[in-house]
Structure 1
C-alpha cells in the first residue's frame, strides 16, 4: 500500500509544464500572471490536493498571520464573548486565531504557551489562571519582541500591555449599593487572592465599608474558587446560625444564583431578608427570578480593546522593544430585584395587575 505523499508546487509545475516560480506567483495572484494561467494552476492544485505550507511561508516573511489566544475556560460567558470578538476583529485584518484553554491549570498554561510559541504565532493574548503568580514562561515572547497582551486576569508587576476591568470600582460600587439598600452585615464571597480581580474587588469592598463606618469582619469574607459546589458549602456556614447576614456580594453570578437557590431551600426571602449582588452580568442573572443585580464588565468592549492592542503592537518593528500600554474597561451596576425591595414589589404589583385584566 503506497503511503500518501504531500503534493507541492513542483508537482503542479510538472503537470502543467510551467516553471515553479510561475506556479507560485499564480497561486498568490501575482498581477503579472494572466487570469487564464491562474485558473489553470488553481484547478490543478485542487485536483492534486495541494495544500499551501503556511509555516514555510511564515519562515520566509517572518509572519504567520496567526494569533494565539489563551483563556482559562472557553465555556464561561465572559471569556467566550471576548474570544468571539477578538477572533472576528482580527479576521477582518487577515489574521487567523488559535484559541486555547488552560482549564485554569498553571501547568497547562505553561505547556500551551510553549506550544503557541513553537507554532510561530505573530502575537499572543492571555487571560491567566487563578493560580498564576510566576509569569516567566511568557518571557520568551518578551525576549523576542513578540507582541504580548494580558487581559482581565493580568499580572501586577510584569511589564506588558494589559486590558482590564475596573474591579476596584466594581467592588466599591456593589458594596455602596448594598449599604444604600439598608445592609449593615454584608458577606463577601471572593475568588482567591492570587488573582488580581479579587484583590481589587476586596479592596473596593473594604473601602466602601470604611466610608460608611461599618466594621470589616474577616469572618464575613470567604476566598475560594467560585464554583456552585463551593458556594453551596459557604451557604451552609453562613446560615448555620443566626443572625443571618442582610446582604451578600458574590464575586461571580454562579455564586449569586446558588445563594438564591439556597435561600429558597431555607425560606429566606430575597430581597426582603437578604439582598444579593453578583458580578459579570451573565445572561442567567437576568432570566432567573428574582433577577440578580450584577456588574456588567462589557466583555465585547474588552474584546475590541484586546484586538486593537494586538494590532497596534504588531505594527511596531519586530526588532525594537515593544511599547507597553494599559487600557481600563468600565463597569456598570445593573440593578435587578435581588437587591431592591421596591423594585421587587413593583414587579409583583405589575404581575397582579396583568392577572386582573
Structure 2
C-alpha cells in the first residue's frame, strides 16, 4: 500500500502556472490578489485535497493561534462548563483550544505539559490534579515566556496568573447557614488537603464553628476523593453509631446526593432530621427530591475571566516576566429544600362543628 503524499502550495502553483507566493497570498485572502485568482486557487486546492499546515505557519509567524487547556475530568459539570466558555471566547479572537484531561493523575499532567509545550501553543490554562503540590513541570512555560494561567485548583505561591473561586467564604457560608438552621453537630466531607480548594473550604468550616462556639471534632471531617463510592463508605462510618449528625456539608453535589440516598435507607427525613448542603450547584441538585442546597461557583464567569486573562497576557511584551497575581470569582449559596427550616405542623379540621 503506497504512502499518501500531501499536496502543497507548490503543487497548486504548478497546476495553475502561478508563482508560489501568489498561491500563498490567494489562500490567505491577501487584498492584492484578485477575486478571480483567489477562487481559481481555492478551487484547485480543493481538487488536489490540499490541507494547510498550521504548524508550519505557526513556526514562520512565531504564533500557532492555539491555546492549551488542561482540566482534571471533562465529564464533571464544573470543568466542562468552564472549558466550553474558554473555547468559545478564545475562538471569537481567532484561537483554537486543545482540551486535555489529566484524569487527576499527576503523571498524566506532567506528560501533558511536555506534549503541549512541544506543540508550540501560544498560552496554557490549567486546573491541576488533586495531588499536584509541586508545579515545577510548568516552569518550561514561564522560562520561555509562554503565558500561563491556573484556575479553580491552583498553586498558592507560583509565579503565574491565578483565577479561583472564593472557597474559604464558601466553606464558611455553608457551615454558618447550617448553624443558623439549628444544626449543632455538622459533618464535613472534604476532598484531599493536597488540593487548594479543600484547604480553604475546611478553614471556612472550622472558623464558622469557632465563631458560633461549636467545638471542632476531627472525627466529623472526612478527606477523600469526592466519588459516590467514597461517599457511601463515609456514610457507613457516620451512621454506624449514634448520635447521628443533624447537618452535613458535602464538598460536592455528587457526595450530597449520595448522602441523601443513604438517609432514605435509614428512614431519616431531610431536612427534618438532618440537613444537607452540597457544593458547585450541579444541575442534578435542582431536580432531585428534596432539592439540594448548594454553592454556585459561577463557572461561566470563571471561564470568561480565564479567557480574558489569557488574551491579556498574550498581548503583553514577551520580555515581561510572569508574576503571581490572583483574581477571585464570587460564590453564592443557593438555598433549597434539603436545608430548609422545619416548622411543626398542626392538625386542624376543616369541618365546622354543628350545634
Q: Shorter chain as normaliser: what TM range?
A: over 0.9
1:37 aligns with 2:37: yes
TM-fit CA distance, 1:144: 0.4
1:271 and 1:344 in contact (8 A); partners too: no
Is 2:121 the partner of 1:121? Answer: yes
Q: Deviations over 1:113-159 (max 9, x none)?
A: 11111000000000000000110100000000100000000001111
Question: Does residue 1:293 correspond to 2:293, yes or no?
Answer: yes
Are the counterparts in 2 of residues 55 and 64 from structure 1 also a CA contact under 8 Å?
yes
Change (3 A) 1:105 1:92: same
Deviation at 1:319, TM superposition (A): 2.9
Q: Map of 1:88-237 to 2, 5 A cutoff?
A: 88-237=88-237
The 1-side partners of 2:206 and 2:303 are apart by: 30
Q: Does 1:248 align with 2:244?
A: no
Partner of 2:48: 48
- Number of residues paired by the alignment? 345
- Please give the per-residue CA displacement for 1:163-182, whole angstroms capped at 9, x wherever unaligned: 00000000000000000001
> Is contact 1:162–1:325 with CA below 8 Å preserved after alignment?
yes
Paired position in structure 1 for 2:310: 310
Q: Offset of 1:4 from its aligned partner? A: 1.5
Structure 1: tracts of 5 or more residues without a match: 346-357
What secondary structure, in the 3-state scheme, does the structure 2 residue paired with 1:268 have? Answer: coil
Q: Distance in 1 between matches of 2:343 and 2:81?
A: 29
Task: Report the 3-state secondary structure (helix = DSSP H, G, I; strand = E; otherwise coil) of the residue aligned with 1:3.
Answer: coil
Conserved? CA contact 1:337–1:343, under 8 Å: no
Contact 1:74 1:80 survives alignment (8 Å): yes
Aligned-pair RMSD on alpha carbons?
Answer: 1.2
**Native 8 Å contact 2:272 2:342 kept in 1:** no
* TM-score, scaled relative to structure 1: 0.95
C-alpha distance 5-299 of structure 1, shift in aligned 2 (>3 A): same
Give distance in 2, aligned partners of 1:315 and 1:299.
Answer: 25
Please say if residues 70 and 127 of structure 2, whose CA atoms lie closer than 8 Å, have aligned partners that are also in contact.
yes
Q: Does 1:331 align with 2:313?
A: no
Q: Distance in 2 between matches of 1:204 and 1:113?
A: 32
Q: Within the alignment, does 1:63 sit opposite 2:37 as a pair?
A: no
Q: Deviations over 1:161-219 (max 9, x none)?
A: 00000000000000000000010000000000000000000000000000000000001
Alpha-carbon separation, structure 1, partners of 2:276 and 2:320: 50
TM-score by length of 2: 0.96
- Secondary structure in 2 matching 1:179: helix
Structure 2 residue runs of 5 or longer lacking an equivalent are 346-355
Q: CA deviation at 1:25?
A: 0.6
What is aligned with 2:11? 11
